[in-house]
Amino acid sequence: MTDIAKLSKEGDISIIQLNDGKANAFSFDMLTTVQGFLSEIPKDSGAVVITGREGLFSGGFDLKTLASGDAEAAVKMTNLGFKTLLDLYSFPRPIVAAVSGHAVALGLFTVCCADIRVGIEGKFVLQANEVRNNMDIPVQILEIVKDRLDKKHYYKALYHSATYTPSEAVTAGLLDEVVPADKLMETALARANDLATLPHPHYEKTKQYSQKLVVERILEALNKHGNYLPQA
């Protein structure tokens, strides 16, 4: 456990909870912590639930770092963020996102990496807000999101930075279901326990076959733009 996130176990389910007490921003420290958790989680059994704190899943990259003027720190953070997305997307065991509130920018893209995405009822926003904030969305993110997003919402969600309520997010393909807040973890754990019964290595191999071209395009983009900053 750290001050910004914790890893716990409930039976065969590994639970990652993001909780920095603020925006649950993906700072370099948060990303390093999540990477450490992923290295500890079994790769041949069980399943994973990733969640945030009450009312907030994640607000995305740490904007203070992006605005600091320290290009080296910003590149270091964003590169680790892109690697973390790929690691979650291609993780060898199933992942359930328990979306505990707002999910914005990299927070939303993290949700898109999960096998099943459960949101909660309420006045919460899911948004890829990069374009509205004078940033572009790179290939390594677009490849993951377009694998989940309903084609009819592609322009609206990514080019136009549209905001979605949880119920609207289900229609757009960003979430699979919405439940009352007090049922979120119960539902997420039920979904994860079911997915945990999928046998290894057949789940992993099938996932690899399906994701092969997407992962190749992401790796190509990461290698080509190693010092990428998501700014205009």
Q: Are 51 and 16 a contacting pair, CB within 8 Å?
A: yes
Scanning 101-201, the segments in alpha helix (DSSP H) are 106-112, 139-145, 154, 166-172, 184-195
Report helix, strand or coil for 98: strand
Percent of the chain with pLDDT over 90: 93
What per-residue confidence (pLDDT) applies to 223?
Answer: 87
Q: Which residue's structure tokens are 């694998």?
A: 147
C-alpha distances in angstroms, 154 versus 37, 62, 99, 111? 32, 25, 21, 16
User: Is the residue at 212 inside a domain?
Assistant: no
Taking all residues of the chain, what is their mean pLDDT, rounded to a whole number?
95
First to last CA, the chain: 37
pLDDT digits (tens, 9 = 90+) for 164-186: 999 999 999 999 999 999 999 99
pLDDT tens figures, 154-166: 999 999 999 999 9
Q: With respect to residue 56, please indicate whether it lies within any of the assigned structural domains.
A: yes
Please tell me the total count of domains within the chain: 1
In which region does residue 136 sit, left (phi positive, over 0), alpha (psi from -120 to 50) or beta (all else)?
beta
Q: Which of 101, 89, 104 is nearest to 38 (CA)?
A: 89
100: containing domain = 5-195
- Residues facing 126 on adjacent strands: 103, 164
For the chain, give the number of residues: 232
Band the pLDDT of 147: cuts 50, 70, 90. confident
CA dist., res. 137 & res. 84, Å (int): 16
Confidence class for position 1, pLDDT limits 50, 70, 90: very low
Amino acid 224: pLDDT: 82
For residue 52, tell me if it sits in a domain. yes
pLDDT band at 232 (very low <50, low <70, confident <90, very high): very low
Any bridge partners for residue 104, and if so which?
A: 127
Confidence of residue 227 (pLDDT cuts 50, 70, 90): low
Which of these, 96, 26, 15, lies nearest to 58 by C-alpha position? 26
Question: Would you say residue 171 lies in a domain?
Answer: yes
In a domain, 208, yes or no: no
Check which CATH number belongs to the domain holding 115 and give it.
3.90.226.10
Report the candidate in 118, 83, 97 with the shortest Cα–Cα distance to residue 47: 97
Answer yes or no: is 22 within a domain.
yes
Secondary structure (3-state) at 165: coil
> 9 - beta bridge partners?
14
In a domain, 216, yes or no: no
Say which DSSP state 226 is in: T
pLDDT in tens, 186-204: 999 999 999 999 999 999 9
- Quick check: is 50 in a domain? yes
